[in-house]
């Protein structure tokens, strides 16, 4: 039985469900990926990159195969709550002091030169 789910593998291989996801990238595929990522790789490293990319995609495929229908999304893996401080001013209001030394103000706002015509 073959996966009907579209994956990164589809362009190069059709993967049977339940079988090993070990896959080989062609030299051209690695060079194309490197070009798209604007990476320069040495010829002797192509096989290493192919192996590592295959391992990453195998892990992604394993994670995609897990049934998460009953898993409730959460904002934090430890279900921690944020420690929030009280919403209170902890410094005195010095707006009038700062606006007194500003070049131009009007109605409590700072006036700046026009940038866009």
Q: Is the pLDDT of residue 26 over 50?
A: yes
Within-domain flag for 3: no
Kindly list the distances between the CA atom of residue 70 and the CA atoms of 14, 28, 73, in Å, as whole numbers in the listed order.
28, 41, 9
- Residue 44 located in a structural domain: yes
* 79 part of a folded domain: no
Share the mean pLDDT of the chain: 80
Sole residue written with tokens 């919403």? 87
In a domain, 112, yes or no: no
Give the orientation angle of helix 46-64 with respect to helix 27-36, to 10 degrees.
80
Flag whether 47 is in a domain: yes
Domain count, the chain: 1
Q: Which backbone phi and psi does 2 adopt, to 5 degrees?
A: -110, 150
Residue 110 is assigned to a structural domain of this protein: no
pLDDT of residue 72: 85
Kindly state the average pLDDT of the residues 76-98. Answer: 85
Number of C-beta neighbours around residue 72 at 10 A: 5
CATH of the domain at 29: 1.10.20
Residues 34, 46 contacting (CB under 8 angstroms): no
Q: Would you give the distance in Å from CA 20 to the centre of its chain? A: 28
Domain enclosing residue 56, as ranges:
8-64
DSSP-assigned beta bridge partners for residue 109: 106
Note whether residue 57 is domain-resident.
yes
89 or 112: which leads in pLDDT: 112
pLDDT band at 23 (very low <50, low <70, confident <90, very high): low
Point out the least confidently predicted range of 41-45, 83-87, 109-113: 83-87
pLDDT bin (cut points 50, 70, 90) of residue 25 is: confident
Higher pLDDT, 107 or 83: 107
| Tally: H helices and E strands in the chain | 3, 2
Specify if 95 maps to a domain.
no
């Amino acid at each position: 039985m073959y996966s009907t789910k579209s994956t990164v593998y589809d362009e190069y291989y059709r993967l049977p469900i339940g079988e090993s996801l070990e896959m080989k990238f062609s030299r051209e595929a690695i060079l194309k990926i490197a070009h798209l990522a604007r990476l320069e790789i040495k010829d002797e490293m192509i096989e290493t990159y192919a192996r590592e990319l295959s391992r990453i995609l195998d892990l992604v495929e394993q994670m995609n195969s897990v049934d998460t229908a009953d898993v409730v999304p959460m904002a934090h893996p430890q279900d921690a709550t944020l420690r929030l401080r009280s919403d209170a001013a902890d410094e005195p209001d010095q707006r009038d002091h700062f606006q007194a030394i500003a070049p131009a103000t009007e109605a409590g706002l700072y006036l700046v030169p026009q940038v866009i015509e």
